[in-house]
Structure 1
Amino acid sequence: MMERSKIAPGHYIPPVIVATDPGNERYDGKEVSPVKLATAEPVSTFSVDVDTGAYANSRRFLSQGALPPKDAVRTEEMINYFRYAYPAPETRATPFTVTTDIARTPWNADTRLLRIGLRGYDLPRKERPPANLVFLVDVSGSMFSADKLPLVKTALSGLAAELGPRDRVSIVVYAGAAGLVLEPTNDTRKIREALEKLQAGGSTAGGAGLQLAYQIARDNRIDGGVNRVILATDGDFNVGVRDNKALIAMIEKERDTGVTLTTLGFGTGNYNEAMMEQIANHGNGNYAYIDSALEARKVLTDEMASTLFTIAKDVKIQVEFNPAVVSQYRLLGYENRALREEDFDNDKVDAGEIGAGHQVTAIYEIVPTGAKGWIAPRRYGDPVPAASTAKANELALVKLRYKLPDGDTSRLIERVVPTASLRSAGAPGSDMAFAAAVAAFGQKLRGDPLLGTFSYADIGALAGKQTNFWRQEFIRLTGVASGITPD
């Protein structure tokens, strides 16, 4: 009789699951951002991103026994799925705090990691503005499976339970055509009954559904409140307005009226993630992928305030590195959020939003001047400007621009990162180590060659022991990835 194999304590052995074919799923991935020479391009500018869909979607693939497509992974959404130890604002004069720290890079002894963290103020339930929400639910035939419409019902029923007496919800559905199935109400029982009656069948007139949902939102607008459409779908539009550019143009027009858009993605096989992420960005909202009832609760109950209540809009980050201190750098993620340098001061350029209690994290990998970089020294390279040498005590200048939710003129925050923090940088502490581990995980799933031999096992070890459920799950996922593709 064969002896049962023994498993060492603390080791995670993933279950054997037959991987599913992603089929016609659509993604709009970008190449890993290139290395920049600080003498030639000292300034890096990007819009913030608080979406988390890429992480939950990647988890879905790993849970099914397959690595996610590289185009499905956005490193910034992996990092921003988790919360970090950033201090909350002491007052609301500025809607968020700005934190910077530096540590040695776990996968490259010659570089350092610069982390920039934003943390929005919390909004107690009694202070939340009234919400006018339109649930826009895809009930087409493609939504029939258990991970689609049934999960949509669970997710939106949970959100309905969080409503206050001043809030109201309407429900619009679409399949071959669009229709209003629930007039505005804050009666949780009526909302849940209307959701429970929904059935899937027919083609997908998503464009018509969006048009009707926006009309209902406008007709029931709450001045000074939250006016938002919440779209729940697999993104498989096949009737009416289907072109992404046409959808985006319509959504931007509605955005300018004060109605924002949150997209919740569901399902597998025909999932159109490219559209879901893009239209949420242009709708001044956010994008999440719901792969389980637990994720639904996290996004729509535990993080409801962050999901729905905006405290700052058009938030941009610009970092100017001092070439006398930093010779090369690269930003981990945010490829599809990159802005031109001149966009930073242009208040006409749209950027990301931050909700109550939201956190945003960006991580740069930098090469200190004199250390070995990714790009070899150039024979005819640009000399370090005298102005940079004169400010050798400054590593970088971090600038942020943002507008208040009802404002049209941006406000500026500036923070100098001192060179002394580079000299004193040690191995990343527990919070920074976990952020670095998640960043490395995202980059490795994308095939980043600059991670060298840093393995999934190394990433799991870097993350360290965790007590938080979601962080523990992350560590298990690194083990799953290692099992699928042994390092």
Structure 2
Amino acid sequence: MKSKTILCCVALAAVTAGCSKPGGNNYSTPSYEASDTAEAGLVTPDASGEKYKPNAISPVHMVADAPVSTFAVDVDTAAYANVRRFLTQGRKPPVDAVRTEEMINYFRYDYPLPSDREAPFSVTTDVAQSPWNQETKILRIGLRGYDLPYARRPAANLVFLVDVSGSMDEPDKLPLVKSALSTLADNIGREDRVAIVVYAGAAGVVLDSTSDPSEIKAALDTLSAGGSTAGGEGLQLAYSIAREHFIKGGVNRILLATDGDFNVGITDQKELETLIEHERDDGITLTTLGFGQGNLNDSMMESIADLGNGNYAYIDSAMEAKKVLSEELASTLFTIAKDVKVQVEFNPAYVSQYRLIGYENRALAEQDFDNDKVDAGDIGAGHQVTAIYEVVPAGTKGWMSDRRYTDNRRTAQTSGRQDGELAFVRLRYKLPDGDTSRLIERPVDARQLATHSLPQGDMAFATAVAAFGQKLRGDTRLGDLGYADIRRLAGNADGYWRQEFIKLTELAEAGQVPAASRRGWIG
């Protein structure tokens, strides 16, 4: 197929003769100025003009009151790259831009490979002394999906959906989009197909589906920015192209590259959500790639990626583009399990209080765990997911004191049958082509609570990243833990990305007003 000629400037409102026009129903863009739910609150631009969904720091729970913690997995990495962008510019990131679980999951850890594809995850648990509180312990839960060599993954039908509106006319926006997607084009296989759709004042097809990397890169080179932003129309057209070239048993995905500044078109959020969910259920997923600054709509891009069973990454550099669209391409595209949920039940004989670090907007009701109708996160080949809990051993001073009146006191009846288990971990998931969930269960040995050792190795690094995220969020439960303490905890980091993390802690420290004491409990 040959590239179709289109003028991607000032208006796209009159799409040229070579471009396809969307048909059928008009789906709107979401209005994220208003609350998605009563729980989420208003999403309004912060001082930078960017939009982030408010997320309060996860609360402490008494095991006697709420023994079960349930959440959907999160494999997004956008928050880490976005935080890095702020820090490298000498600015403190907005609190709501920091999603600690995405920062933890930006890195890979030494979890074992699963032994059986029918149970596509390994589950690892370990316990260490908290580095910032002598009275608490850190419980880490790690999941690792089976790896799939790039050469063995199924064929992919991809549609690049590129925002070419006027807001993308910045060096860190459309030029970086073109470079990033060219990187991806270099990695497609002979069985893969790529089409390119653009949108500004209207939407049009720039490139029909092809397997020729040179045609893809040539089409990308023609793009320039201008006009308003008809994102809903672009999504509708992209889904239409994806359906036209659907590969049964393959990967069918739209990759939306934008700053998220949707500003024209019908503004019925529910219609857009209905479109994304319908296409997701028919096997077409959605990944969002965020670019630029000043009007970044992080809230919208995270939300629609979640709805579309895809992932959300923020691209702030050519290095990040290579990491996301080259090194991690196979795991990003090929889903090995969908609707993955984690549930941890704490045993009151051993734990009195706990808190989950991060995952604020991934929390699920306890009853949602067994409900196969409830959508949750998807995991790709080789993906890892890490969750970190801080727990208070029974009989130890916790964050909350007991109540004065006997009848109000938080007590729990314990069962001898559960003695020896600190907690019980359940993992529920569906195979990619399944509708009925499967279950993996693992007990956590209570003897690990006796440890007085600080986190070591990989666990130390994961805990350091968790502490860094929480410190940026203003988490008061970290006590006096300082950035230097976080660096000591991270240890001698190996590899480019971990060494970069150390540099980011230094940048964060340089941007703060020194306090009288920056020492945490860590030695």
TM-score of the pair, normalised by structure 1: 0.94
8 Å CA contact retained: 2:129, 2:451: no
Equivalences for 1:202-213 in 2 at 5 Å? 202-213=227-238
Which SS does the other structure have where 2:487 is aligned? helix
Give the drift of 1:107.
Answer: 0.5
Which SS does the other structure have where 1:386 is aligned? coil
Which amino acid letter does the alignment assign opposite residue 401 of structure 1?
R
Give the drift of 1:144.
Answer: 0.5
In percent, how many aligned pairs have the same letter? 67
Give the distance between the partners of 1:121 and 1:178, measured in 2 at CA.
38
The corresponding residue for 1:420 is: 447
1:381 maps onto 2:406 in alignment: no
8 Å CA contact retained: 2:161, 2:196: yes
1:437 maps onto 2:437 in alignment: no
Give the distance between the partners of 1:31 and 1:125, measured in 2 at CA.
39
1:392 maps onto 2:423 in alignment: no
The corresponding residue for 1:404 is: 431
Equivalences for 1:47-196 in 2 at 5 Å? 47-196=72-221
Equivalences for 1:309-348 in 2 at 5 Å? 309-348=334-373
* Number of residue pairs matched by the alignment: 466
Deviations 1:322-349 (A, max 9, x none): 0110000000000100000000000000
Give the drift of 1:263.
Answer: 0.2
Deviations 1:419-464 (A, max 9, x none): 1111135211111110000000111111111111111121111111
Give the drift of 1:276.
Answer: 0.4
1:479 maps onto 2:479 in alignment: no
Give the distance between the partners of 1:448 and 1:82, measured in 2 at CA.
22
* Structure 1 residues 23 and 383: CA distance shift in structure 2, 3 A: closer
Which amino acid letter does the alignment assign opposite residue 363 of structure 2?
A
Give the drift of 1:145.
Answer: 0.4
Deviations 1:23-65 (A, max 9, x none): 3200002100110000110000000000000010000000100
Equivalences for 1:249-328 in 2 at 5 Å? 249-328=274-353
2:262 to 213, 237, 246: 237
The corresponding residue for 1:3 is: none
Give the distance between the partners of 2:411 and 2:469, measured in 1 at CA.
35
Deviations 1:56-96 (A, max 9, x none): 00000001001100011101001000001101112312111
5+ unaligned residues in a row in structure 1: which ranges?
1-20
Give the drift of 1:418.
Answer: 1.0
Task: Name which of structure 1's ranges 455-464 and 199-208 shifts more when overlaid on structure 2.
Answer: 455-464
Which amino acid letter does the alignment assign opposite residue 413 of structure 2?
P
Task: Name which of structure 1's ranges 423-432 and 305-314 shifts more when overlaid on structure 2.
Answer: 423-432
Which amino acid letter does the alignment assign opposite residue 202 of structure 2?
A
Give the drift of 1:305.
Answer: 0.9
Which SS does the other structure have where 1:477 is aligned? helix
The corresponding residue for 1:219 is: 244
Give the distance between the partners of 1:288 and 1:24, measured in 2 at CA.
20
* Structure 1 residues 420 and 345: CA distance shift in structure 2, 3 A: same
Give the drift of 1:108.
Answer: 0.5
Give the distance between the partners of 2:263 and 2:130, measured in 1 at CA.
46
8 Å CA contact retained: 1:206, 1:241: no
Give the distance between the partners of 2:445 and 2:175, measured in 1 at CA.
52
8 Å CA contact retained: 1:22, 1:269: no
The corresponding residue for 2:482 is: 455
Give the distance between the partners of 1:65 and 1:216, measured in 2 at CA.
42
Give the distance between the partners of 2:129 and 2:414, measured in 1 at CA.
28
Give the distance between the partners of 1:159 and 1:90, measured in 2 at CA.
31
8 Å CA contact retained: 1:22, 1:268: no
Deviations 1:195-220 (A, max 9, x none): 00000011000000000000100111
Which amino acid letter does the alignment assign opposite residue 65 of structure 1?
G
* Structure 1 residues 278 and 404: CA distance shift in structure 2, 3 A: same
Which amino acid letter does the alignment assign opposite residue 392 of structure 1?
D
Deviations 1:132-182 (A, max 9, x none): 000000000000100000000011000011111110000000000000110
8 Å CA contact retained: 1:205, 1:237: yes
8 Å CA contact retained: 2:156, 2:251: yes
Give the distance between the partners of 1:46 and 1:100, measured in 2 at CA.
17
* Structure 1 residues 62 and 246: CA distance shift in structure 2, 3 A: farther
Give the drift of 1:244.
Answer: 4.3
The corresponding residue for 1:468 is: 495
Equivalences for 1:23-42 in 2 at 5 Å? 23-42=48-67
Give the drift of 1:245.
Answer: 4.0
Give the drift of 1:321.
Answer: 0.1
Which amino acid letter does the alignment assign opposite residue 510 of structure 2?
G
* Structure 1 residues 440 and 358: CA distance shift in structure 2, 3 A: same
